[in-house]
Amino acid sequence: MFQDGGAQAALDLYFDTFPDSRMVRVERWTQGEPGSAGTIKVAVFTICGREFMCSDSPIKHGFSFTPSSSIFVEFDSAAELDRVFGVLLDGGQVLMPLDDYGFSERFGWLNDRFGVSWQLNLADERRT
C-alpha cells in the first residue's frame, strides 16, 4: 500500500529493472472517489514472474512499509544482482550491504526509495 500516489512510479521502476515483470491489470481511482483521480485503486502485476498486488491508499496512515516483510529475489548472475541492487538503492537505504554472509556468497538487503524492502541473493549453484 503506497501513499501519495507512489504506486505507479514504483511499478515503473520495477518493470524497467526486473525481467519478466509487467502489469496484469489495474483499476484507477476516478473523480469523486476517495483516492486522487488517476492513482491506483488496485493493481495486479508480476515481478520476475511472481504475482503481487498494490494500491495507493487515500487514507493517511501512521505506518508505511516495513523490512519485516520484504521481496526476496534470486539472481543467476552476480553482475545482474549488482545492477539491480544499484538501481533499487538510488534514493533508498542499505539494510545489509552486498557481501558473503555464510548463508549466501552474495546477498544484499535494502529499502528502495518507496520504502519497499528487497532481499537480493545470488543463486547457490551447489543447490541446483
pLDDT tens string 65-103: 888 899 999 999 999 999 999 999 999 999 999 999 999
Contacts of 104 (CB under 8 A, 6+ apart): 121, 122, 124
- Residue 16 is part of a domain; what is its CATH number? 3.30.720.100
Q: Is residue 62 included in any domain, yes or no?
A: no
Tally of domains in the chain: 2
Residues spanned by the domain of 89: 70-127
121 in Cβ contact with 73 (< 8 Å): yes
- Quick one: the chain helix, strand, coil %, rounded to 5? 20, 40, 40
pLDDT tens string 42-56: 999 999 999 999 999
Q: Is residue 29 included in any domain, yes or no?
A: yes
Q: Is residue 13 included in any domain, yes or no?
A: yes
Residue 125: predicted pLDDT: 60
Q: Is residue 34 included in any domain, yes or no?
A: yes
Residues 121, 75 share a domain: yes
Residues 52, 74 share a domain: no
Q: Is residue 63 included in any domain, yes or no?
A: no
Specify the pTM: 0.90
Take residue 79 and report the three cell numbers written for it: 553482475
Helix (H, G, I), strand (E, B) or coil at 124: coil
Contacts of 75 (CB under 8 A, 6+ apart): 81, 84, 120, 121, 122, 123
- Residue 79 is part of a domain; what is its CATH number? 3.30.720.110
